[in-house]
Chains A and B, each alone.
Chain A
Amino acid sequence: MPPGADILGAHARLAAIDPAAADELLFTHVLSALLAGAGAKRGFALDPLHPLRRAAVGIAPEEGALERLGRHVEEAGPAAVTIPAALVTALFSPERAADPRVVPLTARDETLALVVLDRPPSDPVGFASVSAHAASILAVIRMSERVSRADFELKYRVWELQSLYDVGLSIAGTLDLDSLADDILLKSISLLNARTGTLIVRTSGGDAEDAVLVKHFGVPLAGPEALDSLPEQVSRWNTRAERAAPFAEAPAEKLLLSPIVAEGRPLGLLLVADKENRAGGVDDFTVGDERIISLFGNQAAIALENARLHREAVEKERMEREIELAASIQKTILPVSLPEVAGLRLAGGNRPTRQVGGDYFDVFPLPDGRTAFCVADVAGKGVPAALLVSTLHACLRILLDLGVADLPGFVGRIHRHLLGFSSTRKFVTLFFAVFDPSSREVRYLNAGHNPGIHLSGGETTLLPSSGPPIGILPDVVHRESTISLGVGDTLVLYSDGITEAVNAEDEEFGMERLIALVKKGRNVSPRSLSGAIFGAVSEFTRGVSQYDDQTVLIARAC
């Protein structure tokens, strides 16, 4: 054996390495065994797959030599088997090696280590056995690392699936958008190894169209204004030059964005930035990353859609309760039957719409033998309108008990009372009349209501409004008028729900049809005429849902 080479000692050193417990000293142990086997004193070894895994004995490479070596290995790839002579020379510093040798340790076309010795092996055959021994150990370690990496990858995929499954469960189990948004944002950042992220979603429809939920992890990447110009597809911007306008200034190197779209409507965005790597740098986002963020974006869309549907269901329930309440209020106010009064035959009715509007009619026999009657239509729908009807009803009852002299004064008091209401939509159209059987005169006041129809001798006369509805303008004085109601004459009052009833073609029932019906009904009882009007309107609308209540009140002198 040539002097210097310790083949057996080299094998013994290699045998002492435990492949299962490979640590940062692995290459130091391997290099020292190879130096012993070659009879060399100085050397260097590195793993071309992980250039930071390296060892040096007896040398202090020139400044920059290790960086150049790293670049060489990166360019040559993990199968590199040589190192340029100039670089080898630079490694042996400060003392040059006279005849350095590069020894690649390979297994199955794979370079496991690049070893540089300061001299050729003194026993090439013996050294070949040592290098084969070292290669076999490194091959086992590399295989073990691959298995470990594959195991980690597999577990990572399970984690990915579990995260998506968990988000799905959260969506099914909660309608708390705020915590769901946190969950989705954190899981996206976590699974994509991103450093920061932003989630922005429009959370409402209906009255609060502008409500936006914004979540940031780390530095904000975008603001709500980005929703105005969302890309339609998942977007990967690995350079600043590629970015769409709203994201050009986002404080990050690389961005990955998923629009959140539900039912074709853009609702928000999920944006993550800077996919980090183990070396502390930032990697490009990949097609696989697009898939992950797109899945989370879809989950966010489902969550938002669920929340919206829930909100709509709650709103619908609230409205139905309100309609029920409004209907019950109105039911207690509208007359179930009309009283028998001197000199008049009365008939009338009200057909509420589904939303419950604010039509009102009533008849009041007065202590002095006269009869007051009215038809009114208050602004709005639902409970507010029903309450206004209730107020009007109470006002009329109380004031009529005190007596009614001049109609403008009487209606003016109600008008001033309504003006004191705080609600903005509080006006009432009112046709108020008082019939005196002794004179057969009807004094009336029409405040913004549909014209009454006076039928006399087969001819009709319209009784128009003398001013705006009550409850709107403070300084309004209405004017009263008088007609004579001879025996057989008929006065027909109604609400706009009759004349403005629409059919499927969006055509209105109109005044002409109503007047024709009134004329045609001059010889039938008020009750039959009332029924004929409601019947004709139903025939006309043929089941089309109507917006307004329909009310008719007929008074015929007898």
Chain B
Amino acid sequence: MSEILKVTVERPDAMVAVLRTDGYINNAGGEEIARQAYVLMGGGVNRLLLDLEKTKIVNSIGISILIEILEKLLDSGGRLAFCRLTPTIEKTFQIMGLAQYARIFPAPEPAVSWLRGETD
């Protein structure tokens, strides 16, 4: 496990972007996600999927940054989804309120469908 977070971005289509994280979502990790997210949002992409398959740990600062990203996405009429969370991180997101406005999916495919508006 690494405390340094890496983010890779994939674009399944013009509307949706998938950000795959690998590492600790803390202050530095959250900032890196936010940087990539804001670049995408600046380019008009406001439907984001965060794939946390390779992230096993998140702290409260990382969560507050994710909340900021979520708020900005919602302000711009966008959507945020998460997928492949560890049970611990999913429970944490539920408790911290992230799951209230973002959707959590077990796998990327249904998440992307939801972001595209193909499913409820």
Contacts and interface: CB of A to CB of B under 8 A. Distances in A.
Contact of A193 (B2, B26, B97): B26
Contact of A162 (B2, B57, B95): B95
A163 B92 CA distance: 9
B61 A155 contact: no
A285 B65 CA distance: 22
Interface in A142-164: 151-152, 155-156, 158-159, 162-163
B28 A186 contact: no
A345 interface: no
A190 interface: yes
Contacts of B26: 193, 195, 276
B34 to A, nearest CB: 12
A193 B64 CA distance: 12
Interface size class of B (residues with CB under 8 A): 20 to 34
A163 B3 CA distance: 20
Nearest to B72: A23
Contacts of B1: 186, 217
A166 B64 contact: no
Contacts of A189: 57, 59
A86 interface: no
Interface string B55-68: 01111110010000
Nearest to A216: B1
Greatest chain A CB density within 10 A among B3, B57, B91, B96 is at B3
Contact of A159 (B31, B56, B95): B95
B13 interface: no
Nearest to A281: B27
Contacts of B24: 195, 217-218
A190 B58 contact: yes
Interface in A214-236: 217-219
A516 interface: no
A21 to B, nearest CB: 7
Contacts of B91: 162, 166
Contacts of B60: 152, 156, 159, 191, 193
A187 interface: yes
Contacts of B61: 193, 276-278
Nearest to A162: B95
B28 to A, nearest CB: 7
Contacts of A191: 59-60
Contacts of B27: 276-278, 280
Interface string A181-222: 001001101110111100000000000000000000111000
B88 interface: yes
A152 B64 contact: yes
Nearest to A279: B27
A195 B28 CA distance: 10
Interface string B80-115: 000000001001100111000000000000000000
**Which 8 A-B residue pairings sit nearest by Cβ, starting from the closest?**
A218-B3, A193-B59, A159-B95, A276-B27, A186-B57, A155-B96, A190-B59, A158-B95
Interface of A: 21, 23, 151-152, 155-156, 158-159, 162-163, 166, 183, 186-187, 189-191, 193-196, 217-219, 276-278, 280
14 contacts: A159-B92, A159-B95, A162-B91, A166-B91, A189-B57, A189-B59, A190-B92, A193-B61, A217-B57, A219-B3, A276-B59, A277-B27, A278-B61, A280-B28
Interface of B: 1-3, 24, 26-28, 31, 56-61, 64, 75, 88, 91-92, 95-97
